Structure 1
């Protein structure tokens, strides 16, 4: 695969990013792709490693290693190297229905399991993937291919995020009539409103949705299943229903003063900005503005980073990002060997921008909010932070992060964004369908299955597995579609 000495002949090159101080002036994607010729050199770096961990998608020590979609990474890397871009597109699409999304927002599990990364820099497979799909669009390959035959079976998909779209895509290609219901005004779920425009421009989502419509999938927006339309109606009208509503119940911060104005969940902050951007280019002012404010982001994950980057684009006065856990090491620890997912500290785009603008990393580790303080108008104006340490709980025997007495400090806070993760599915949907949930409020099924306790009702994505990655949602949707197809037809060729 690739050039036998490619990883020695060529250094890894990534798409060039616009400088932090320039890219914060807009909300667009900010990477400039490599030339076609340079991208082919990157494909040449994919060596004949014998065991391609990049496409394994296995769980090692509780973490994913390699692509959950089992993408044929070495094959399309080799096809790029030899200039067979059309064939590379066909190989990529055999396993991944949405490389235009994963090529932008996936954390590249393939690269972190790449053999070249064991002693050097891994192959730039994520950028290669994105180059292939954009080549496909530019050269008329990524067009609609409606199924030639219809089975007469009807399936409803509730939720148009990556899991719902993946399931709908597979079932439609099989010939079933698929209708996707979405409670928002636009389709895409977290792809549309959960991921900021600078990571995934919404024209990219709409481009793919248009193709799916041309292939025969029906989309119904502004319809909240369980409220606007009853679950019983869907179960009666369709041969099967797939619940793919995401893990959309945000985890709260229970601290005195939480009721103060100016404290929001991160998803509401990000959605408001994206919607206003799409509706009016932010001119309607119908978003939660961070302009001129001291911002505190509670949560050190990707969503917290997105809040940092968005706040800076608004023109915030300052921003800090709180992380309860200690800083991860800069390099792999001995107990985290390759090809496990590397538990190392990374500085993402929002943090890079904060460093460029304010001169320091916005993250405060082992820190949380003890109390919010408000002014006479009931608006948050300060936050009392407290440092944390790891101690064993005498009752459970588990290690927990607990406050350090006397470590409190007060900081200004005009806007607080809670990005502390999600607790699972929303109860009004699960109650409406009567499906069982587990202790994490995820919809319960048998292991590695997608059928719920309710006849002909299935589930997929974060609603099923809990908060996870886009690539896992796509895999869940694909696997759920196969199970639904087998139920409807008695067998499946998906």
Structure 2
């Protein structure tokens, strides 16, 4: 390594963030990079530890620690410090198909697992990654590299999210002819419509897609396989098919009054906003507007936070975010040691913006909805909330969050966004291909495998493993590409 004492000589420093009251005026990305000179010093903080958990991607206590892609992090941290940007890009791209995406949307389990994090501040791995990929684009290191030889094999990929694109990238580089089918009007899946523009500017997606098109990947939009495209046609026309349609069934909140007007799934709310933003900069009005509304978000994860940030940009009158679980501690508890994922309080960008606009954290813990109340015209006007407490279920022995009798409270609300997660694959797709699903409605395969019960039909991503991180989807896409390659050629020759 270039600087053995770097972690002692330099403090962690990250790029500036546009203040909340300024950034909510638009849907632009708001993280500003460090100058490259300063970023190089951040690369020097990588301490050449004996066991680099940052790149391990292993599960501790059911949660990932380190990068699921097994990125060669210490290697490119050192190359950042040395200013060897081209070689840093080569090492980064060796394991990660889309660093331009992960450096923006990944929650950075690599930094959580960084050895510096044990007794101080972790290496700024995520920002080092961004500096590498953005420098690579700026300097022309990222350019189309179509395969010199084609195998004559054809692969169809259903779904253009991170797993589908990752599979397409590797299989095309291998020399197979790849066609990606996307049911929406634009390519990108979750990346395009599930993640707001301020977290991932869609120009970043388009920039990468232009490279992939130039390399020979074909994209077909408005192709809803199982409806306007027949699954049988794909299986007949292509040598292999990969199902990478995501976990597309949003979990509902089934309580009295659910039919009231003004209750939407978070994915529909976020998708409509992004599509309108891309089509007309929100001028067409074809989105679910939170302007002037009393908004309630149900769910405390990333999607819930995105709903908070988007609602504030719309100009909501007020906002509340319900979380079923207790408020996490500010620091690690003894039963949650490093390098486990820290189960601590995280205040994300949406909550920061709500605090800046309304003067308080929008989150209300150990609370859920008991009932929705509509007016005479069927429009949502109130919600009945109830507090929860943890109790052991006598039958299963599991701890459950149950309502506290007499804790009900009515609040005024006229827009509800349900961000309670997803339940698995959509039935019309799985039935069209005849693939088996498990008890969670994810497409079933043998453990660690990607081949379904149907010959030459494979699966990957959230459709396979359930709702997860973009970085896991990319890993699944890369792994299913190798499985398909081996089935087509008799062996796999990863690029």
TM-score, shorter chain, exceeding 0.5: yes
Distance 2:176 2:302 in 1: 36
Distance 1:279 1:243 in 2: 28
Determine the structure 1 residue equivalent to 2:72. 72
- Deviation, 1:2, is 4.3
- Deviation, 1:329, is 1.1
Say whether the 8 Å CA contact 1:2–1:45 is kept in structure 2. Answer: no
Distance 1:84 1:343 in 2: 36
Distance 1:139 1:48 in 2: 28
Distance 1:156 1:376 in 2: 50
Determine the structure 2 residue equivalent to 1:315. 315
Determine the structure 2 residue equivalent to 1:275. 275
Say whether the 8 Å CA contact 1:166–1:478 is kept in structure 2. Answer: yes
Say whether the 8 Å CA contact 1:2–1:43 is kept in structure 2. Answer: no
CA deviation profile, 1:396-449 (whole Å, cap 9, x unmatched)? 221111100000001111100000000000000001111010000000100110
- Deviation, 1:321, is 0.3
Determine the structure 2 residue equivalent to 1:221. 221
> Within 5 A, what are the aligned runs for 1:359-378?
359-378=359-378
- Deviation, 1:295, is 0.1
Q: Does 2:122 correspond to 1:152?
A: no
- Deviation, 1:91, is 0.6
Q: Does 2:140 correspond to 1:140?
A: yes
Query: Partner of 1:391: helix, strand, or coil?
Result: strand
- Deviation, 1:220, is 0.1
Distance 1:392 1:48 in 2: 45
Query: Partner of 1:410: helix, strand, or coil?
Result: strand
Distance 2:365 2:246 in 1: 29
- Deviation, 1:460, is 0.2
Q: Which moved more, 1:329-338 or 1:106-115?
A: 329-338
- Deviation, 1:44, is 0.5
CA deviation profile, 1:142-201 (whole Å, cap 9, x unmatched)? 111000000000000000000000000010000000000000000000100000000000
> Within 5 A, what are the aligned runs for 1:279-290?
279-290=279-290
Determine the structure 2 residue equivalent to 1:22. 22
Distance 1:109 1:142 in 2: 26
Q: Which runs of 5+ in 2 are unaligned?
A: none
Say whether the 8 Å CA contact 1:2–1:77 is kept in structure 2. Answer: no
**What TM-score do you get using the length of structure 2 for normalisation?**
0.99
- Deviation, 1:377, is 1.4
Query: Partner of 1:321: helix, strand, or coil?
Result: strand
Say whether the 8 Å CA contact 1:375–1:381 is kept in structure 2. Answer: yes
Distance 2:227 2:277 in 1: 28
> Within 5 A, what are the aligned runs for 1:97-108?
97-108=97-108
Determine the structure 2 residue equivalent to 1:88. 88
Determine the structure 2 residue equivalent to 1:306. 306
Q: Which runs of 5+ in 1 are unaligned?
A: none
Determine the structure 2 residue equivalent to 1:294. 294
Determine the structure 1 residue equivalent to 2:251. 251
Distance 2:108 2:167 in 1: 22
Determine the structure 2 residue equivalent to 1:490. 490
**What TM-score do you get using the length of structure 1 for normalisation?**
0.99
Q: Runs of 4 or more off by more than 3 Å in structure 1?
A: none
